[in-house]
Structure 1
Amino acid sequence: MKAELLKREGNLVTLKIAVEYANFNEAIEKVYKKTKGKYNIPGFRKGKAPRKIIEMNYGKGIFYGDAIDAIFEEVFEKAVNETGVAAIGRPSIDIEEISEDNGLVMLVEVEVKPEVKLGDYKGLEVKKEVAEITDETVQLELDRMAEQNSRLVDVERTVEDGDIVTIDFKGFVDGKEFEGGNAEGYELTIGSDTFIDTFEDQLKGKALNEEVEVNVTFPEGYAREDLAGKPAKFEVKINAIKVKELPEINDEFAADTTEFETLAELKADIKAKLEEEAEAMAESQVRNEIVKLAAEKAEFETPETMVEAQLSRMMNELAFQLQSQGLQMEQLLEITGKSIEGLKDERREDAEQIVRGSLVLEAIGAAEGIEASEEETDAEIAKMAEMYRMEAEEVKKALRPEDIEDIAGQVKIRKTIDFLVENAKLV
């Protein structure tokens, strides 16, 4: 097999790939043996007709398409390695020639990583802002802890703002119950704006076990078109009225909920941890800003193929997050009234920024000769092993070569960002 880079226009390259006829003919023979049972040839039992007879009846190229499909992936990978192009898109194939003299000759057009023209990436000026941890900040964290340790207490009075009520309800539109409009034992926080229109307001002042008629109107842009803009009636029964009872924040609270004996010790620990988090967040923001600045100073065309691939990864991550919360993507789309394409459009700018950053970091790493050593890669695998409570060697054996290469790539990216930070001007 021979491969030649014919031309490059922007992010598109054209390769000329020639496969020896003997190799291509071998692929044809394999296809013939695999598919010969599909052909009915007069005078032959099904699947027994010789290849030449089938080609005479159906045309000499009857097996060409399947044979090209069978060998293309391997051939294309060799061509990419031989020419040194970094293919990122789906290749398109134009058959130039098939002959015994020249074999299979293909012109293959494919999108590749762009040639990045780096701008100034040393001495980038970045502002590092570490959030100040005040007494008020510590108190907010204490309040959050108290909220986590609160308990619900039944009260015997009418419903007030902030109460948590347990209700049964049935919804009617045009005098008929509608799908999704019924529930029993539903917990609703009054004032949370969980329900549409004035639903929650109409429960205020109502008593325990009271049956209430609530009248609302679905908004015009409601996700369900069959309900959008329509008036609805809900029959609601109040089964319970509860309030959150928060524990008093004192030494006893600290001793009961943490490893500390006094509130002063707990506050000191909270402040130290928040300061550590603030420092880590500030460093993360510096690293992100440096990569963004380096990308802005570089000149290249952002490959749409890579942007789309990044968007797909972001959608998969979103779907995983939703599943961890017991939701499906379809439910999110219904609630928000958006489409998958709409969600992608909202994230496109971020995806483009991620792609540009990764390409610039790759170019800077190459320019500065930054590599990931075997020891550094092994150290990263050891961290993975610790996370999964496994032996490092056991994890390493389970990884494919491409997995280890990907881990090394992540180490290299981190080292490249470290290099940019070390050479930046922090203000």
Structure 2
Amino acid sequence: MQVSVETTSNIERRMTIGVPAQEIDQAVQKRLQETARTVKMNGFRPGKVPMRVVKRRFGDSVRQEIVGEVMRDNYIKALQEQDINPAGWPKFEPKTMEEGKDLEFVAIFEVLPEVELGDFSKISVEKPKAEIADKDVDTMIDNLRRQQATMKSVKRKSKNKDVVLIDFKGTVDGEEFEGGAAENHKLTLGSGQMIPGFEKGIVGGKAGEELEIEVTFPEDYQNEDLAGKPAKFDIKIHDVQEPQLPELDAEFFKKFGIDAEDEGTFREEVQKNMERELKQAVSNKVKNDVVEGLLESTELEVPTALVDQEIDRLRQDAVQRFGGQVDFQQLPKEIFEEQARRRVKTGLLFQEVVKQNDLKADPAKVDEKIQEIASTYEQPEEVVAHFNSSPEQKQQIESSVLEDAVVDLILDQAKVKEKKLKYEEAIQAGQQQR
């Protein structure tokens, strides 16, 4: 086997491989002999078909099959000899594959890029600092009650937190626009579902009333044709409903998996859950800033093969979220390309930090994270046993702990500034992804 490697870009390689004709011909002959022993053809007894007939009938397809196998096997062998780590499966281009002639083919593939990490001290991180006040717990409990509320129609004027059933039709410069009209639309007033001013314009309206309100689309509205433009909406209110909140009793507490007999115990459990969410939100915000700083400080060419693999994973995830009703390959790749490229680049950078600093997943922190996850379940000991008995699940936790170690290492060198936020603001900061 003869091998030569050409560097065509920072990450692309063209490997030319030559295989002696004898190796191909012997493999083809052996496969044809195996075929002759099992093939059934009219006019011949099983196993008695002449070789010339077998070759005439199956020679081309067998040779093509053998050439494919030889290219694959010799490509893998050449990678090992040349000590090359490819980033994905190659594209094969046969140059010569005629019978009696040496096989020559080209394997075009990408390799993992060389990574030069930037200066961590130039990375800026904004770390939320928030406390959970009694009113935050009150708000959370109120939200939980509203999730379980029943609705009752009322004759009075509408107010925030009421649900209204409305028809609406919007116009801009006197013209209707796509998505600007609906019938029997349920809207919770004060929820912020609609553009600024829309819900406020309905507050005070009663069932049976017709209103005309004027609002302005935000400058950063997703539909650029409407962004910043004034609009008029004709609204008819069919019904105003007031939520009937459930009592804070043991039956209500159980709906949220909390075994409590009194409101005080329930509040304690709610606050513990809020503290876990706050801790996670702060961690997410800090990690996102670290990732953003890494991406901005490092030039890195990302292998297309890895991006395509990540796109497929994202498409499969999307299909699962939508109930698996479509084939993931029907979803356009372009929708996921930017996110996939970011994920791949982040992964490569984290791997390099791990490699350069010889980082390992601390077993104690792995156990701590498993315990933390298990504490949110009714039978935590069963969850711990599940993780410890499942290598795949435990490896995911180890990967998460290793990512945390990367973030901590960078934070030790980065510029970290604490920012005081309210509880809800900190939660929102942890949910934002740039």
The bucket for the TM-score relative to the shorter chain is: 0.5 to 0.7
**Mapped partners of 2:365, 2:2: distance in 1:** 37
The equivalent of 1:311 in structure 2 is: 311
The answer to whether the 8 Å contact 1:130/1:278 transfers is no
- AA paired with 1:359? L
The equivalent of 1:340 in structure 2 is: 331
Tell me by how many angstroms 1:19 deviates: 4.3
1:43 to 1:143, Cα distance in 2 relative to 1, 3 A: closer
The answer to whether the 8 Å contact 2:123/2:293 transfers is yes
The equivalent of 2:339 in structure 1 is: 350
Which of 368, 381, 385 matches 2:357?
Answer: 368
Tell me by how many angstroms 1:142 deviates: 1.0
The answer to whether the 8 Å contact 2:154/2:242 transfers is no
The equivalent of 1:292 in structure 2 is: 292
Query: Which stretch shifts more, 359-368 or 314-323?
Result: 359-368
**Mapped partners of 2:250, 2:364: distance in 1:** 48
The answer to whether the 8 Å contact 2:2/2:19 transfers is yes
Tell me by how many angstroms 1:67 deviates: 0.3
Q: Deviations over 1:343-386 (max 9, x none)?
A: x4444322221111111112222222335699999999999996
**Mapped partners of 1:123, 1:426: distance in 2:** 10
Paired residues, number: 346
- AA paired with 2:270? I
- AA paired with 1:425? K
Q: Does 1:301 align with 2:301?
A: yes
Q: Percent identity?
A: 20
Tell me by how many angstroms 1:143 deviates: 0.9
- AA paired with 1:419? L
- AA paired with 1:302? V
Q: Does 1:277 align with 2:277?
A: yes
Q: Which structure 1 segments of 5+ residues have no match?
A: 166-186, 195-200, 207-237, 333-338
Tell me by how many angstroms 1:246 deviates: 0.8
**Mapped partners of 2:112, 2:88: distance in 1:** 9
- AA paired with 2:313? R
**1:37-52 superposed matches below 5 A:** 48=48, 51=51
Q: Deviations over 1:45-81 (max 9, x none)?
A: 79755556665x5898664321022344443333333
**Mapped partners of 1:150, 1:7: distance in 2:** 66
**Mapped partners of 1:376, 1:50: distance in 2:** 69
Query: Which stretch shifts more, 360-369 or 79-88?
Result: 79-88
1:54 to 1:4, Cα distance in 2 relative to 1, 3 A: same
Q: Which structure 2 segments of 5+ residues have no match?
A: 166-183, 194-201, 209-237, 375-380, 418-434
Higher relative contact order (CA 8 A, sep 6+): 2
The equivalent of 1:119 in structure 2 is: 118
Tell me by how many angstroms 1:297 deviates: 1.3
1:53 to 1:249, Cα distance in 2 relative to 1, 3 A: closer
Q: Does 1:128 align with 2:127?
A: yes
**Mapped partners of 2:25, 2:365: distance in 1:** 47
**Mapped partners of 1:45, 1:251: distance in 2:** 81
- AA paired with 2:411? V
